[in-house]
Amino acid sequence: MFNQGQNSCIFVSGSKTLGVMHQNKKYYFTDSHACGERGAPARGYNGKAYIIECDTIEELVRILRRVVGSSSTAFAMYYIDVVPIDVENDELEEPQPIEDIVEHEPEPENNLPFVSMQTAVMAPIDYNQSIVENELEVSENVNEIVRKTKDNIVNVNHEKRAEEYAWYYLFPYGVHGLNEDRPVKITTLDYFQSRIVGQDTRFQRTDYLFYALHMMEYDRIRSTINTCGKKIRGKEGAIEDVHIQMRSIRGSSAYWRTAMNELIAFIKCVGPPAWFITLSCNDLNWLDMRKALLIADKRPGVDPASICIDEAQQLIEMYLVVLSRHFSRRVNAFMSHIKRNPGFLGGQVVDHWWRIEFQNRGSPHLHLLVWIRNVPSFDTPEGIALIDKVVSCSYPSEEEDPQMYNLVNRNQIHRHTHTCFKRKAHLCRFAFPRKPSRETKIIDENSPEFLQNGGRFCELRRAAHEKWVNNYCPEVLEFWDGNMDIQPCGSNEALAHYVTKYIAKAEPEDLNDGVKQAINRIRQEESDIQRKLFKICMRILKERQVSACECAYRLCHLPLRSGSRKCIFLNA
């Protein structure tokens, strides 16, 4: 253990630092921490600092093992020179008073100024810690601790490595964050796309997705306001039309307002659509979705049918980016399929328009408008025959059609939830249970029966045991294998405009009042228009309800809406 000429060392193992000395054929062990008489760590407050004398090296090794707690722990030894001297009591000098001690800084080397070193995570030894009561306001509730200090949030514009410091477990080396100096400049969107779409799935965690979306929108709003602020500086009333500045933010209220205007122009040019279809995401039961999640979890060999619902739910929560991208691919495959198969919806699809909406639980679903070539008017016998051919609400028996029975029973049976009774309504807003009918008929939009039917102008032929079955197209349901709804629109232009406003809706109405109050407060501030615009835009984005799937959609730049035609507005 001790080399020739070396009789003392510092023994380091894990978090333990001990002193060992060899002098006069004796071995000495010392530990400044509280320990027992045999060197083991003391329990409670009965321990003392000991110096233990050992006769043999084996006895010293046993004590070291007892202190460290294991015989296989790695250790390091740092040799030092210690020369014991005998000093008589008479020779001891009086300690020098503290006020006479002068601290000398080391001489600079090579004419360079001396800089005191300090680690990034440890405070200096002489750091004066503040009193807890001066920094924190502690109430009687032990779970409520409020920091008194204000304005202590790190500004991302001032701290270059704010991302590395905040997500230290994602950046263990503290480099290659958003603001890293790179030979080739990349945009904020490109940076976050490379992070969350890459093979490193650690960046797909939900909290990082929300952070990435905020940083992307912050950067885009700042660049947009800077550009527009120069154009409108000094003009009265320029702050009123804020949605012009925000329509480039995908998913914002201004974005969907622009989409609604384009869809209304679409309908005015080509006429009302034939079908209004809604397709939901059956993420828990789709085997192809489970397979994609298992591949992301690095378990490609596991059979997707063998995992339970709870495990599938855990995979969905872990890999929301995979879910969003897979749903987008399914939508594209469905659109290609209905275009290649005219018999699906009763004719050749000539035009379409769709958008992705996110439910309260965050799962995406598709709203689709379809235009069919040479579709008859639905208030004629030919039109009613087409409705009976495409739309169904039948509940087949298991013996008659086991495959369709399983699809309808799994996806199309309505069950009341809290969304059925929004705005304190006493009746289901989806008009369930629906009354039986011997034949399919068209309802006048001015009749009370139109409102009782949930705004649907078509009442399908329905048996008594089918009152809880939602409308579906058998071919589409078999292809999609998820909850769906289909209803005809026909030549009723007023109904088409109602569907347009519903399909292109943006924010929940209960958020509008809070946003308006915040905007009014910002308008009264004494600042320039550019700063006011920036604050208003950030306030509107802050009040939005965004799910993790929507974060993934917007960060991956997956399409939120699409149409077969593009609208261009010309000045009158």
Residues 6+ apart with CB under 8 A from 475: 341, 343, 344
Per cent of the chain over pLDDT 90 is 22
Q: Please, are residues 548 and 238 in contact by the beta-carbon 8 Å criterion?
A: no
What pLDDT does residue 218 have?
Answer: 84
Backbone phi and psi for residue 383, each to the nearest 5 degrees, phi listed first = -70, -40
Residues 6 or more apart whose CB falls under 8 angstroms from that of 560 comprise 250, 251, 255, 355, 356, 553, 554
Residue 121 has pLDDT above 60, yes or no: no
346 has pLDDT over 60: yes
Tallying the residues shown for the chain, one arrives at 572
Q: Which residue has the higher pLDDT, 454 or 534?
A: 534
User: Would you tell me how many other CB atoms lie within 10 Å of the CB of residue 438?
Assistant: 8
CA distance 545 to 554: 14
Model confidence band, residue 453 (pLDDT cutoffs 50, 70, 90):
low
Instruction: State pTM to two decimals.
Output: 0.67
Q: How far apart are CA 450 and CA 453, in angstroms?
A: 5
Token pair belonging to 134: 């001066």
Cα separation, 443 vs 455, in Å, equals: 10
Residue 536 to residue 128: CA distance in whole angstroms: 41
What confidence tens digit (pLDDT) does each residue in 152-196 have? 556 666 778 888 888 888 998 888 998 888 999 898 989 999 999
Q: How far apart are CA 267 and CA 275, in angstroms?
A: 13
Top-confidence range, 192-201, 218-227, 515-524: 192-201
Bridge partners (DSSP) of residue 76 are 12
Q: In this predicted model, which residue has the larger pLDDT, 7 or 323? A: 323
Answer positive or negative: Cα dihedral of 504, 510, 515, 516.
positive
The residues facing 147 across adjacent strands are 136
Q: What is the pLDDT of residue 233?
A: 52
Give the highest mean pLDDT range of 76-80, 108-112, 490-494: 76-80
Q: Using one digit for the tens of pLDDT, what is the confidence trace for 485-516? A: 998 886 655 566 566 666 666 655 555 566 66
- For residue 356, what pLDDT is reported? 92
Distance between CA atoms of 51 and 557, rounded to whole angstroms? 67
User: pLDDT per residue over 80-103, tens digit each?
Assistant: 666 666 555 555 455 455 444 444
Residue 69: is its pLDDT beyond 60? yes
Please give the C-alpha separations between residue 344 and each of 239, 353, 485, 495, in angstroms, as whole numbers.
49, 17, 14, 23
Find which of 80-89, 127-136, 357-366 is predicted with most confidence, using mean pLDDT.
357-366
Contact 262, 279 (CB under 8 A): no
Q: Do 302 and 277 contact (CB within 8 A), yes or no?
A: no
Contacts of 326 (CB under 8 A, 6+ apart): 288, 289, 292
Give bridge partners of residue 77 from the DSSP assignment. 11
Q: Mean per-residue pLDDT for 215-229?
A: 74
Query: What's residue 52's pLDDT?
Result: 82
* Phi and psi torsions of 288, nearest 5°: -65, -35
N-to-C CA span, the chain:
94
The per-residue pLDDT for range 283-337, each reduced to its tens digit, is 899 999 999 999 999 999 999 999 999 999 999 989 999 999 999 999 999 999 9
CA dihedral 432, 435, 441, 445 (to 10 degrees): -50
Supply 20's token pair.
Answer: 């060992």
